[in-house]
Chain A
């Protein structure tokens, strides 16, 4: 595994200790991309010359004492629905042929100002409207641990680029789980902050009321570092937490009723580890959990259809067939049902708030199954055969509907070596507190379960 398997925090220390340079780190990533991208297909666009120029500038600045902070000289990939000035934003779609971004998205500008190096644009499910990346105009992303499987989506190229050592971190988007799903199945940390904490301007929308931008990376510490840069302004100091005394609401019922046995076992072992270390676990309930999927579906379909209606008329043949047909489905949503879904959102927000009442975090699995095989339409869990999409979104979409911050971190591996994730959820606008709790849980899991 290349040196780019280390964390951002480790690279930042090495850069300042003159043990390496931004140029060397960037070159190493670019070499890895050249070696591995033909097989994994994580990148749509590689910005080799620009990245090396950014890296050399970063080194020159550090040499003269101009330190932009912990992302200075750190090589990133960006999901290819986020604008970088002068670069195509393809959204993995032929519909966007010829597009060149006229400016940086605010998140790109903040990364650039912080000294980050842009390696390139990462592959995704077309227009972020899917969970496997199979419907991409540039071909599917393959899981670095098993090329016959999907690394999850829609930010699949982002996750694969990190897992395979092609980048230190990535910026993705999450409308139903698109940061947390690929992070979970690739053994990474993925943070969906609170709704509205990070600007989504300059990011091709999927669902204007549920889109979030956030980091995929190798540690909770890295997630915090990137989050602080993405949100802009002065970051408040996060208070360190301990697992002992952490008040955890455990979501069961709907949330644990459709789990692969190895995922279920990993989740229970995580709960046992937490309890054994002094965390206070109590089962909590979302009374209308059974309504999550209909509410999510009516919001995301209607909002996606509104954005795509014009190009569905003028460029219909340029969409991948599956994405086109699902966008067309959204055009049949009635206004009254969209409004019903918005009313349902308020109900779910109140129920998640209630579940969090008096507690620091909620805990649930990140995804019910490990990485899915490419080409699979359904997945069998026990006696149940479910569509892949339903299973993949089942445990993440609630927090896009409600806007609560959520983070996935690795908690185990299957007997085949595939990663399994655990998900923590914090109070609305409580991303800092969530990160503090997640760091404590990460340290425990690292100690007890080898992560």
Chain B
């Protein structure tokens, strides 16, 4: 799941659960998750170093 899809899904679920206060926190978490996924120490099944371009691709 990309971070973009995750954020959309999580935000919808939070709204469904009547937790609107979660939205800004989830947006902040999405930025943190993007940073985590783009770190150069992440494993890659091809054996190549991870290369990420846009956050949506992470």
Contact partner of B33 (CB less than 8 A), chosen from A290, A294, A343, is A294
A112 close to B (CB within 8 Å): no
Which residue of B is nearest A298, CB measured? Answer: B36
The smallest C-beta distance from B58 to any residue of chain A, in angstroms, reads: 10
Q: How many Å lie between the Cα of A340 and that of B44 in the bound state?
A: 11
- Give, as a whole number of angstroms, the nearest-CB distance from B6 to chain A: 7
Q: Which of B1, B19, B41 contacts A343 (CB 8 A)?
A: B41
Cross-interface CB contact of A325 among B13, B19, B37, cutoff 8 Å: B19
B57, CB-defined interface residue at 8 Å: no
Task: Specify which chain B residues have a CB less than 8 angstroms from the CB of A291 in the assembled complex.
Answer: 35-36, 39, 41
CB distance from B1 to the nearest CB of A (A): 7
- Complex CA gap A298/B36 in Å reads 9
Q: Is the CB of B22 within 8 A of A325?
A: yes
B26 to chain A, nearest CB (A): 7
Question: Quick one: which of B6, B13, B39 has the most chain A CB within 10 A?
Answer: B39
Contacts of A295 in B (CB 8 A): 36
Secondary structure class of chain A's binding surface, majority of residues: helix
- Interface residue tally for chain B (C-beta within 8 Å): 20
A321:B21 contact, CB within 8 angstroms: yes
Q: Are A347 and B41 in contact (CB under 8 A)?
A: yes
Point out the residues of chain B lying under 8 angstroms from A337, CB to CB: 33, 36-37
Interface residues of B in 10-31 (CB under 8 A from A): 10, 13-14, 19, 21-22, 25-26, 29
B30 to chain A, nearest CB (A): 10
8 Å CB contacts to B: which residues of A279-321?
Answer: 288, 290-291, 293-295, 297-298, 301, 321
A328 adjacent to B19 (CB under 8 Å)? yes
A297, B29: Cβ atoms closer than 8 Å? yes
Contact yes or no, B36 A332, CB < 8 A: no
- Say whether A53 faces chain B, with CB atoms less than 8 Å apart: no
| Cα distance, A301 to B25, chains bound together (Å) | 12
Bound together, the chains give a CA A290 to CA B48 distance in angstroms of 22
A326 touching B41, Cβ below 8 Å: no
- Cβ-closest chain B residue relative to A321: B21
Query: CB distance A329 to B29 under 8 Å?
Result: yes
Note all chain B residues with C-beta closer than 8 A to A301: 29
Q: Which of B13, B25, B33, B36 contacts A326 (CB 8 A)?
A: B25
Place the interface of chain A in its size category.
Answer: 20 to 34
Bound-state CA distance A288–B36 (Å) is 11
Q: Specify which of B1, B22, B43 is in contact with A329 (CB 8 Å cutoff).
A: B22
Cβ–Cβ < 8 Å partners of B26 in chain A: 329, 332
A333, B37: Cα distance in complex, Å:
13
Residues of A within 8 A of B39 (CB): 288, 291, 294, 340, 344
- A343 touching B42, Cβ below 8 Å: yes
CB distance from B50 to the nearest CB of A (A): 10
Q: Cβ of A297: which chain B residues have Cβ within 8 Å of it?
A: 29, 32
Distance, CA A154 to CA B22, complexed state (A): 22
- Point out the residues of chain B lying under 8 angstroms from A332, CB to CB: 6, 10, 13, 26, 29
| Chain A residues with CB under 8 A of B19 | 325, 328
Within 8 Å of chain B (Cβ to Cβ): is A334? Answer: yes
Is A341 in the interface zone, CB < 8 Å from B?
A: yes
A293 and B21 form a contact (CB under 8 A): no
Chain A min CB distance to B49 (Å)? 13
Which of chain A's residues has its CB closest to B40's CB?
Answer: A288
A326–B21 Cα distance when bound, in Å, is 10
Instruction: Tell whether, in the assembled complex, residue B29 and residue A343 are in contact, meaning their CB atoms are under 8 Å apart.
Output: no
A294-B35, A332-B10, A334-B6 in contact; A343/B43 too (CB < 8 A)?
A: yes
Give every chain B residue within 8 A of A290 (Cβ-Cβ). 35
- B43 cross-chain contacts in A, Cβ below 8 A: 343
Do A340 and B37 contact each other (CB < 8 Å), given the known contacts A321-B21, A325-B21, A332-B10? Answer: yes
| A329→B25 contact, CB < 8 A | yes
Nearest CB of A to B14, in Å: 8
Q: Chain A nearest CB: distance from B40 CB in Å? A: 8
Residue picked from B6, B19, B41, B42, most chain A C-beta under 10 Å: B41
**In the complex, what residues of A have CB within 8 A of residue B22's CB?**
325, 328-329
> Can you list 9 A-B pairs, Cβ within 8 angstroms, ordered by A?
A294-B32, A294-B35, A297-B32, A325-B19, A325-B22, A328-B22, A329-B29, A340-B39, A343-B42
A-B interface, 6 closest residue pairs, ranked by CB to CB distance from nearest: A294-B36, A332-B10, A294-B32, A294-B35, A347-B41, A329-B25
Extra contacts besides A329-B29, A332-B29 (15): CB < 8 Å? A291-B36, A294-B36, A294-B39, A297-B32, A321-B21, A325-B21, A329-B26, A332-B10, A334-B1, A334-B6, A334-B33, A340-B36, A340-B37, A343-B41, A343-B43
